[in-house]
Amino acid sequence: MATEPDPLRFMRRAIELSSLHMAENGGGPFGAVIVKDGEILGEGWNRVTSSHDPTAHAEVVAIRQACGKLNTFELRGCEIYTSCEPCPMCLAAIYWARLDRIWYANGRADAAAIQFDDAWLYHEVALPPGERSLPATQLLREEALAVFRAWDAKPDKIPY
């Protein structure tokens, strides 16, 4: 008997997580798994409303769990399977975690069709800070630069 190819199995798990926890009112309809060498290291589902945390998206939750399991801050050699194309925050987290690949099911347009429209955020992020709808004002740069200089000179820093 043939077994299901891993990518399909892992994506089905991400979709299962999205459905299960959405039905339980855990959050929005999003799920994700982090996989390395055929093993699921992290699972996440949207917990924004249940945890009162706007950053508790499925992908971020899965990244946190996988990093905790591996005791590391990067996930090279891992892939993420997510029930929807990542929003800008999750996409940035995926890049920062150094994941090797993104697999996704629903696309941006599918999410927008159910009122999860990230198009405005993609647009905002591309603008210079002074042109964004959220005011951003730079203060005390010289004082903050002193800390950056100390970091740059720190011999025992852990670069990332």
Tell me the catalytic residues.
Answer: 59
CA dist., res. 4 & res. 9, Å (int) = 6
| C-alpha span between 160 and 158 (Å, rounded) | 7
* CA-based torsion, 24, 26, 29, 30: positive or negative: negative
Q: Note whether 111 and 117 are within 8 A (CB).
A: yes
Give the other-Cβ count within 10 Å of 49's Cβ: 13
Handedness of CA 7, 13, 14, 19 (dihedral sign): positive
Q: How far apart are CA 160 and CA 156, in angstroms?
A: 13
